[in-house]
């Protein structure tokens, strides 16, 4: 669980880095993205600590998520700000499902981890709401775009559990 969550939070920081590289920092959307990115930094820092404290091997795919995350962020931002928001919409939809499943699997086995996942999940859902407030659903080809990104997330999650 820690390996895949660490990979996901790392990927999130790379997506937002790619979006901010394209959008700069001046628009309202960029401001919102920067705020979400700061939260992803905190999520990643927490999972960095879990990796160290519990001796978990990070995914070997990290160099790929580094590039793929940034590319996804940059590509969606190049389409439009609303497409960048649709990317967050798609990613957070899958992450919410992923964290919900983990919390069910954890039960009361690991209260420390469960508390962090509960908090992060709430923040991811807030990102989803913010993305929709900023017009994610008005992005060009929203169903296709989010469908593709969601499928990519599911593949990335399964691979990061195993490799
Ligand atoms: Fe996160
Ligand atoms: Fe997020």
Could you tell me the distance, in angstroms and rounded to a whole number, from the CA of residue 43 to the centre of ligand 1? 5
For the chain, what is the largest distance between any 2 Cα atoms, rounded to a whole number of angstroms? 45
Domain residue spans in the chain?
A: 2-162
Say if residue 54's pLDDT is above 90: yes
The answer to whether 14 touches 31, Cβ cutoff 8 Å, is no
What does the alpha-carbon distance between residue 29 and residue 104 come to, in Å, rounded to a whole number?
34
98 is in an annotated binding site: no
2-162 CATH fold? Ferritin (1.20.1260)
127 is in an annotated binding site: yes
What is the rounded average pLDDT of the residues 63-85? 96
Could you tell me the distance, in angstroms and rounded to a whole number, from the CA of residue 38 to the centre of ligand 1? 9
C-alpha distances (whole Å) from 100 to each of 5, 25, 85, 157 are: 12, 32, 22, 14
What is the rounded average pLDDT of the residues 105-109? 94
**pTM for the whole structure:** 0.93
Tell me which ligand sits closest to the C-alpha of residue 93. Answer: 2
Q: Is 71 helix (H, G, I), strand (E, B) or coil?
A: helix
Could you tell me the distance, in angstroms and rounded to a whole number, from the CA of residue 126 to the centre of ligand 2? 8
9 is in an annotated binding site: yes
What does the alpha-carbon distance between residue 123 and residue 35 come to, in Å, rounded to a whole number?
11
Could you tell me the distance, in angstroms and rounded to a whole number, from the CA of residue 56 to the centre of ligand 2? 22
Q: What pLDDT is recorded for position 27?
A: 87
Indicate the range of 3-17, 21-35, 42-56, 144-158 predicted with least confidence.
Answer: 21-35
Q: Which two structure tokens, joined as six digits, stand for 141?
A: 């080809």
Q: What pLDDT is recorded for position 121?
A: 97
The answer to whether 51 touches 2, Cβ cutoff 8 Å, is yes
What does the alpha-carbon distance between residue 26 and residue 84 come to, in Å, rounded to a whole number?
15
137 is in an annotated binding site: no
Say if residue 25's pLDDT is above 90: no
Q: Which two structure tokens, joined as six digits, stand for 29?
A: 């959307």
- Going by pLDDT thresholds of 50, 70 and 90, the confidence category of residue 28 is confident
Residue list, CB under 5 A from ion ligand 1: 9, 12, 40, 43
> Which residues make Cβ contacts (< 8 Å) with residue 144, sequence separation at least 6?
none
Q: How many CB atoms lie within 10 A of CB 93?
A: 18
């Amino acid at each position: 669980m820690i390996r895949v969550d660490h990979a996901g939070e790392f990927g999130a920081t790379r997506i937002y880095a790619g979006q901010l590289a394209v959008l700069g920092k001046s628009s309202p959307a960029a401001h919102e993205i920067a705020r979400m990115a700061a939260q992803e930094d905190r999520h990643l820092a927490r999972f960095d600590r879990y990796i160290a404290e519990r001796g978990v091997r990070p995914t070997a795919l990290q160099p790929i998520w580094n590039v793929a995350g940034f590319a996804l962020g940059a590509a969606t931002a190049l389409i439009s700000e609303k497409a960048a928001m649709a990317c967050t919409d798609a990613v957070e939809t899958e992450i919410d499902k992923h964290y919900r499943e983990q919390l069910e699997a954890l039960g009361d086995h690991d209260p420390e981890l469960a508390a962090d996942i509960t908090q992060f999940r709430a923040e991811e859902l807030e990102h989803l709401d913010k993305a929709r407030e900023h017009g994610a659903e008005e992005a060009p080809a929203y169903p296709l775009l989010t469908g593709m990104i969601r499928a990519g997330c599911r593949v990335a999650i399964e691979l990061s559990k195993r490799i």
